[in-house]
A and B are shown apart, each in its own frame.
Chain A
Amino acid sequence: MPIFTVLICGGAACISSGEEVVKNKLISLIKDKNLEGDVKIIETGCMGPCQYGPVMIVYPDGSYYIHLTEDKIEKIVNEHFIKGRPVKEFLWETPEARKKVEEKKIIPFFEKQLKIVLSNCGNIDPENIDEYIGKGGYEALGKVLTEMTPEEVIDIVTRSGLRGRGGAGFPTGLKWKFARDAKGDEKYIICNGDEGDPGAFMDRSICEGDPHAVLEGMAIAGYAIGANKGYIYIRAEYPLAVKRLQIALKQAKKYGLIGKNIFETGFNFDIEIRMGAGAFVCGEETALIASIEGKRGQPRPKPPFPAQKGLWGKPTVINNVETLANIRHIILKGPEWFASYGTEKSKGTKVFALSGKVKNTGLVEVPIGITLRELIFDIGGGIQNDKKFKAVQIGGPSGGCIPEEHLDTPIDYESLTSLGAIMGSGGLIVLDEDNCMVSMAKFFLEFTVDESCGQCIPCRVGLKQMYNILDKITKGYGTIEDLERLEELAKTVKTTSLCGLGQTAPNPVLSTLRYFKDEYLEHIIDKKCRANVCKFEFKEERVKEKI
């Protein structure tokens, strides 16, 4: 029996900040000093505080080490593992009080969080199915298969109030009901893991840190709607998530938890992993279906909705990774428990990826209804280098910017939409006084211009024209007429595009025009960028004209 268990974060962010070197050093030191029986090392999924990576927790005392290096590891082995003294100066500390904290629970970053979906992330070994089972894994699947009818499962999910975490927020139970009621001998479950928004990494982290929760959610959904086959569509740019899902699937099949005659109830459910090539539009459900079918990933008009006519023309439910990862908790703890968190219309929690100019970047899970201020200033720790907060960009290229005066708005689907942003998949980019809002809008537009599938004219041509105008403004050539045309174009693209990509792509422009019009005007009239981001070229151009 080991004295210490080390949980070292093997999330992608910690890996990119050097986790592997640290882990290897730890393993070799443990071996050199004959501590192999005393110290057990478990590599987990994302623990959340990505800013401080590589991080590790040492149990049983729960010491939380951050910013690990090879030198630090050497000292930790000598002091903590051999002599039993945690190395205080390497432990997490709060910047405000400069107070050393030894226990995870008193770190402000965790205080306001409520981890349901992420409860296993960073706490178990994602490559070991037994650890998932030890945390109650596959118990919910067992419960629905042995005790419940599909209708009862749908009823529970409906009563929980769970809404799709991919962004649009459609009630999950209702979607399942449509698919259950749809006629068809074959039906499908698709897990949408095509997370393409700049600044979003929630789904990736769930797949990396708790892959079995996704598989279990899919199997339950399959039982509920009458499907025997599921697909996980995940982008190839997420190699670690793909690898962990593959391992999880193999282990679940070996145990008979995915496959034929699950729990000897006669229910068959098989899952296949499909890798997407990373086109943003493939996150749109009809484009995603086309991609799985081997066609070009282009959306088609709706209706018919996938619940009626989806993959290969059969009724199909597409749920986002986070939505599916919620299912087992709802089944085990009940719809009332789930509905006790959140707001009247938006229940449960939401995972956000905090990034940008905030002190504590990383992955956080909070009850829906928490205010933006709490999220950015309490959990996020405020703005880096004590700069001034300017806006928060929510929902990636489909989302919008929210300025300071709305920071006390509770975060839920409706209130974000009314502010011109969306919940989206949960990417949250914090901007400070050094960010130019016009350039920011241009950045997102450049992304959507690149990612437009080109099928419909508003999106293909309209976005490009909008981009050209923004480019003109950021270079100092913009006119007041351009600004009017930009707004008109944005509204046209929004209302006339075929799919969600085009319909939401103007949001960054519209929301910045709504809250930061003065910055656009400064660029046009005063030829000035208050954040000093835009470099105006007009002086050089005039010289050229003279020649």
Chain B
Amino acid sequence: MKLEDLRKIREKVQKEIELREGKARVKIVVGMGTSGIAAGAREVLKTFLDEIEKRNLKDVIVTQTGEKGFASKEPIVVIEEEGKPNIVYGNVTPDIARRIVVEHIVNGNPVSDYVIEVGGK
């Protein structure tokens, strides 16, 4: 093994470790309270994971949170990005989740039709 080979392994694994510890450029937080789950949050979450894997986005993390307290807008998804206000989406379906990944996370344009709050947690 050469020093460059070692560094290649390091870079790859470092990223994985950072992601598991919650250090990422973008964090997708899916509200998974009872009403969220009932409204299909689990499917939405799966779709996010799927899209991120497919597009090989190495600095995006998907995580869950409990009830967001806005049951009529479930499933609710918050996109947290470093240095930017949080964007909260409501009534997210798997299709919208795919659009959020492509338009918002990859291209930087929030899918404005489904944004219900900016700057909220």
Contacts and interface: CB of A to CB of B under 8 A. Distances in A.
Interface of A: 1-5, 37-38, 40, 59-62, 82-85, 124, 130-131, 133-139, 142, 146, 255-257, 263-264
Interface string B28-49: 0011111001000000010001
A199 to B, nearest CB: 32
Given A83-B34, A133-B6, A60 B21 contact: yes
Given A60-B21, A62-B22, A256-B1, A134 B9 contact: yes
18 contacts: A1-B53, A3-B49, A3-B63, A37-B49, A59-B21, A59-B22, A61-B63, A83-B34, A83-B66, A85-B33, A130-B12, A130-B13, A133-B13, A134-B12, A135-B14, A137-B10, A263-B3, A264-B2
Contacts of A124: 17
Contact of B10 (A1, A59, A136): A136
Pairs of residues from A and B, 10 with the lowest C-beta to C-beta distance, nearest first: A84-B64, A134-B13, A60-B22, A84-B32, A5-B20, A85-B66, A142-B3, A256-B1, A59-B20, A134-B14
Interface in B30-79: 30-34, 37, 45, 49, 52-53, 61-67
Contacts of A83: 32-34, 37, 64, 66
Nearest to A145: B3
Q: How large is the interface on B (under 10, 10 to 19, 20 to 34, 35 or more residues)?
A: 35 or more
A60 B16 CA distance: 12
A62 B61 CA distance: 14
B17 A3 contact: no
A387 to B, nearest CB: 39
Nearest to A124: B17
Contacts of A130: 9, 12-13
Contact of A257 (B1, B37, B52): B1
A405 to B, nearest CB: 43
A332 to B, nearest CB: 12
A268 B52 CA distance: 43
B26 to A, nearest CB: 12
Given A60-B21, A131-B13, A142-B6, A255 B1 contact: yes
A256 B3 CA distance: 11
A131 B1 CA distance: 17
Nearest to A131: B13
A61 B17 CA distance: 14
B44 to A, nearest CB: 12
B61 A60 contact: yes
A60 B33 contact: no
Contacts of B9: 130, 133-134
Nearest to B50: A1
Contacts of B65: 84-85
Given A62-B21, A83-B37, A84-B32, 12 more contacts: A1-B62, A2-B20, A5-B21, A60-B24, A82-B37, A84-B63, A84-B64, A85-B66, A134-B14, A139-B6, A263-B1, A264-B2
Contacts of B7: 139
B10 A133 contact: yes
A38 B20 CA distance: 12
B6 to A, nearest CB: 6
Nearest to A128: B13
A82 B33 CA distance: 10
A493 to B, nearest CB: 51
B19 to A, nearest CB: 8
A61 B22 contact: yes
Contacts of B61: 60
Given A3-B45, A84-B30, A146 B3 contact: yes
A60 B63 contact: yes
Contacts of B66: 83-85
Question: Which of B10, B22, B37, B64 has its CB near the most chain A CB atoms (within 10 A)?
Answer: B64
A135 B16 CA distance: 11
Contacts of B12: 130, 134
A370 to B, nearest CB: 27
Contacts of A1: 19, 49, 52-53, 62
A84 B62 CA distance: 11
Given A3-B49, A60-B63, A84-B65, A263 B2 contact: yes
Contacts of B34: 83
Question: Which of A1, A38, A146 has its CB near the most chain B CB atoms (within 10 A)?
Answer: A1
Question: Which of A2, A5, A60 has its CB near the most chain B CB atoms (within 10 A)?
Answer: A60
A83 B67 CA distance: 9
A137 B9 CA distance: 10
B10 to A, nearest CB: 5
Contact of B16 (A84, A134, A138): A134
